[in-house]
Amino acid sequence: MQLKIKHLLGLENVSSSDIQTILDTAVSFKQVLERPIKKVPTLQGKTIVNLFYENSTRTRISFELAEKRLSADSVNFSVSGSSVSKGETFKDTVRNIEAMKVDMIVVRHASAGVPLYLTKITDSVVINAGDGIHEHPTQALLDMYSIREKLGKLEGLKVCIVGDIAHSRVALSNIFGLKAMGADVSVCGPATLIPRNISDLGVKVIHNIDDAIQENDVLNILRIQLERKAKASFPSTREYHKFYGITKERLEKNKKDVLLLHPGPINRGVEISSEMADGEHQIILEQVTNGVAVRMAILYLLGTRHGEEN
């Protein structure tokens, strides 16, 4: 099982067979996580740098655990803010790190396109852990893994991504990945949070949350970015919750058995009520567990990939 991709920069141009390979490989790594000794020697001797130019807790810890469980040597490099404020250019920083002989770089950065740029200035394998409002492919892969694990398939499923689509890298990766796997994808939220041209990606736009619940098998509920509230793209969190929040009453009213995902961190009482965040429909913590398995699969497949073919 060899991937066609050499790096994981995003899911826009990743084939369904590569996605299938990643998800299938993650199944066996999830079994590893259930053993008393949760470690395999697969990436022994490989060095991985987690290059985080933006704050992150769960994604960084998830990658770090995945790396340690594959027996790789990993180091963290965290910088808040851009390289501009640091005085050293991003390129110089990366060249310095690479001079210490690393094999893979996991990168998160506030500017879209940085993972691709990295592939041009280093020889390391690059994995995108989130770039700006562009893509967050490992999150989408773990979302897809979780859906598939729960519902047995992706093809033909109706999946709606709910919330701030315009400022979400999770949304875009999910759209590309799910569509590649044959799912029927829609987005739901107020018009100000939906990019004007999103329907050109073959995605249905829904503004009424009740319609979204009725029409879909899965809702992937995005975090409302409270820190971006200053941007004033919706009237208030109170109003957002009233019209878009996922509540027990809303699901009961629509008499719908729907699977709820959330990439976290959750704003309880905003995009989802506390009751639903802990309720029977959601698989939020399973997503977190699956995240480690999926990241192990990606690190393993890209870290042991050989040859320059394709």
Interaction site with another protein (CB under 8 A) = 12, 82-84, 89-91, 109-114, 116-117, 131-135, 169, 172, 195-198, 200-201
> Is the CB of residue 187 less than 8 Å from the CB of residue 205?
yes
Q: What is the CA radius of gyration of the chain?
A: 19
* CA pair distance 49, 126, nearest whole angstrom: 10
> Which one-letter DSSP state was computed for residue 218?
E
Q: Least CB distance from residue 200 to another protein, whole Å?
A: 5
Q: Least CB distance from residue 47 to another protein, whole Å?
A: 24
Is the Cβ of residue 40 or residue 110 nearer to another protein in the bound state? 110
> Is the CB of residue 111 less than 8 Å from the CB of residue 57?
no
Q: Least CB distance from residue 114 to another protein, whole Å?
A: 5
Is the Cβ of residue 32 or residue 110 nearer to another protein in the bound state? 110
Q: Least CB distance from residue 7 to another protein, whole Å?
A: 14
Q: Least CB distance from residue 14 to another protein, whole Å?
A: 14
Is the Cβ of residue 195 or residue 263 nearer to another protein in the bound state? 195
Q: Which residues contact 211 (CB under 8 A, 6 or more apart)?
A: 188
Number of residues assigned to the chain: 310
* CA pair distance 306, 310, nearest whole angstrom: 11
Is the Cβ of residue 83 or residue 247 nearer to another protein in the bound state? 83
Is the Cβ of residue 2 or residue 82 nearer to another protein in the bound state? 82
Is the Cβ of residue 44 or residue 199 nearer to another protein in the bound state? 199
Q: Least CB distance from residue 88 to another protein, whole Å?
A: 11
Is the Cβ of residue 70 or residue 166 nearer to another protein in the bound state? 166
Tell me the two tokens of residue 141.
């892969």
Number of Cβ atoms within 10 Å of the Cβ of 174: 31
Signed CA dihedral, 245, 249, 253, 258: sign only: positive
> Is the CB of residue 94 less than 8 Å from the CB of residue 122?
yes
Tell me the two tokens of residue 98.
């690479």
Q: Least CB distance from residue 175 to another protein, whole Å?
A: 10
Is the Cβ of residue 86 or residue 256 nearer to another protein in the bound state? 86
Tell me the two tokens of residue 207.
């503004």
CA-nearest of 52, 38, 66 to 105 is 52
Q: Least CB distance from residue 169 to another protein, whole Å?
A: 6
Q: Least CB distance from residue 174 to another protein, whole Å?
A: 13
Q: What is residue 263's three-state secondary structure? A: coil
Q: Which residues contact 192 (CB under 8 A, 6 or more apart)?
A: 166, 233, 234
* CA pair distance 71, 42, nearest whole angstrom: 7
Is the Cβ of residue 12 or residue 215 nearer to another protein in the bound state? 12
* CA pair distance 70, 282, nearest whole angstrom: 29
